């Protein structure tokens, strides 16, 4: 049997008629940028999170870049980041000429909340927790540190749509939450899309200006802006996806529960989960010391996997001038060298789940 790592068409087929109707409705409207579909999605997503504002953009990376720009974080300003994040999180800082200051991951594979305070200097302006794999960071601890030191708090929620810490949804703890709607995400578009959410009227207005050349009125450019607008077709698609976000999260949680209870292999360990967390399992990471042999074995037996993320941003070639060594962050280093993501997605067949569990259990 072959089990692909991800089959986006399966998720699409679950609600095919609604997706197609949404796309055709938009195509027939004759209005494709900054229109009613985008406004409706912004209202719906803000309502889902319980925040005042959602500003729809063309990618999650742009959401991070424009969030830091709206906060006037610039050259020499320090932002505390997790050492084991995807590079897009760090790009949000460096594109504004800020300086990422890294903290290691904790045993939950998330930003170590207890390591943040030691990294704060007079140049520190913000903290960027990244909710990896669908699990929230320890946001209560992180928010206390941010409040104590009067720092901005920007959440990277690219993988955590619908996840929560002590019942509070990710994206609602900080000054701004940044979401990606890349097709593989828990709430995915059929192309690139993203958003910034906030309860701050001034920040919302600034991001709206930034996304449209710094302009509210055509040719009247109030600030230096960019072109980062969610198109109407993606906004219409996301309205459909939002209706089924919770159902998709529940399906991945069900698959994850099966993996957690039925995979019994001493060579394979799981991500620890905070007691207070609602984990939505955007990904299902496992740790294996002999990763290459494990992946090769799974591939030979028809099971697709991916690695998230084999090269941490602090040792990326594009940032080599920073001079970090792999061992500077021991947990981030270990996770980068041992992590393997197993297949998990809405629409996965029961026999495929059975097969993955069986194959993993026979690895030795």
CATH classification of the domain holding 76: 3.40.640.10
pLDDT digits over 32-90, tens only?
999 999 999 999 999 999 999 999 999 999 999 999 999 999 999 999 999 999 999 99
204 with 264, same domain?
Answer: no
Residue 2 within any structural domain of the chain: no
Residue 1 within any structural domain of the chain: no
CA–CA dist 284, 340 (Å, integer): 8
Rg (CA), the chain: 20
**Residue 234 and residue 180 in contact, taking contact as beta carbons nearer than 8 Å:** no
CA–CA dist 217, 46 (Å, integer): 24
43 with 62, same domain?
Answer: yes
184 with 39, same domain?
Answer: yes
Number of structural domains (the chain) is: 2
194 with 262, same domain?
Answer: no
> Residue 236 CB: number of other CB atoms within 10 A?
27
The distance from CA 309 to its chain's CA centroid, rounded to whole angstroms, is: 13
158 with 202, same domain?
Answer: yes
Cβ partners under 8 Å of residue 247, min gap 6: 346
Residue percentage of the chain with pLDDT more than 70? 100
Q: Is 266 exposed, middle or buried, given 0-12, 13-18 or 19+ CB atoms closer than 10 A? A: exposed
Concatenated DSSP letters of 271-325: ----TTEE---SSEEEE-TTHHHHHHHHHHTTB--B-S-SS-GGG-GGGGGG---
200 with 71, same domain?
Answer: yes
Residue 279 within any structural domain of the chain: yes
Domain-ending residue, one of 219, 243, 267:
243
Q: How far is CA 276 from CA 23, 165, 272, in A?
A: 39, 5, 12
Residue 166 within any structural domain of the chain: yes
Q: What is the pLDDT of residue 43?
A: 98
Residue 273 within any structural domain of the chain: yes
61 with 182, same domain?
Answer: yes
Best CA proximity match to 179, nearest among 41, 11, 319: 41
Residue 48 within any structural domain of the chain: yes
Q: Going by DSSP bridges, is the β-strand pair 339-342/284-287 parallel, antiparallel, or unpaired? A: antiparallel
279 with 302, same domain?
Answer: yes
250 with 233, same domain?
Answer: no
17 with 50, same domain?
Answer: yes
Structure tokens at 124: 């520190």
- Domain extent, residue 316, equals 245-361
Residue 312 within any structural domain of the chain: yes
Q: What is the pLDDT of residue 161?
A: 98
Give the domain CATH number at 329: 3.90.1150.10
CA–CA dist 172, 138 (Å, integer): 13
Domain-ending residue, one of 213, 243, 273:
243
Q: Which residues in 13-27 are b (16+ Cβ under 10 Å) and which e? A: eebeebbeebbeebe
Residue 3 within any structural domain of the chain: no
Q: What is the pLDDT of residue 107?
A: 98
Low-confidence ranges of the chain (pLDDT < 50): none
Domain-ending residue, one of 218, 243, 268:
243
Residue found under tokens 């949680």:
253
206 with 282, same domain?
Answer: no
77 with 46, same domain?
Answer: yes
């Amino acid at each position: 049997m072959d089990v692909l790592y991800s089959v986006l068409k399966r998720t699409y087929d679950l609600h095919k008629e609604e997706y197609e109707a949404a796309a055709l409705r938009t195509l027939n409207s004759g209005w494709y940028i900054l229109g009613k579909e985008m406004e409706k999605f912004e209202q719906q997503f803000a309502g889902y999170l319980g925040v005042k504002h959602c500003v729809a953009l063309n990618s999650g990376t742009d959401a991070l870049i424009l969030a830091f720009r709206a906060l006037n974080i610039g050259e020499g300003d320090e932002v505390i980041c997790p050492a084991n994040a995807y590079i897009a999180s760090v790009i949000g800082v460096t594109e504004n000429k800020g300086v990422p200051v890294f903290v290691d991951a904790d045993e939950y594979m998330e930003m170590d909340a207890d390591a943040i305070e030691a990294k704060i200097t007079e140049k520190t302006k913000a903290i960027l927790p990244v909710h990896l794999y669908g699990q929230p960071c320890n946001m209560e601890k992180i928010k206390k540190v941010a409040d104590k030191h009067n720092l901005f708090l920007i959440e990277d929620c690219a993988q955590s749509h619908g996840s929560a810490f002590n019942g509070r949804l990710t994206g609602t703890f900080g000054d701004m939450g940044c979401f990606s709607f890349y097709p593989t995400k828990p709430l995915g578009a059929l192309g690139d899309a993203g958003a910034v959410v906030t309860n701050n009227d001034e920040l919302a207005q600034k991001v709206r200006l930034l996304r449209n050349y710094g302009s509210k009125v055509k040719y009247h450019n109030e600030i230096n802006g960019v072109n980062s607008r969610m198109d109407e077709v993606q906004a219409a698609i996301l309205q459909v996806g939002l209706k089924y976000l919770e159902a998709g999260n529940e399906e991945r949680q069900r698959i994850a529960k099966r993996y957690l209870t039925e995979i019994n292999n001493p060579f394979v360990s799981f991500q620890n989960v905070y007691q207070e967390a609602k984990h939505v399992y955007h990904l299902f990471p496992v740790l294996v010391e002999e990763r290459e042999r494990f992946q090769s074995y799974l591939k030979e037996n028809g099971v697709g996997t991916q690695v998230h993320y084999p090269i941490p941003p602090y040792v990326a070639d594009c940032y080599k001038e920073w001079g970090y060594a792999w061992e500077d962050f021991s947990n981030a280093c270990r996770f980068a060298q041992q992590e393997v993501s197993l297949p998990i997605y809405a629409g996965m067949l029961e026999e495929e789940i059975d097969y993955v569990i069986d194959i993993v259990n026979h690895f030795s």
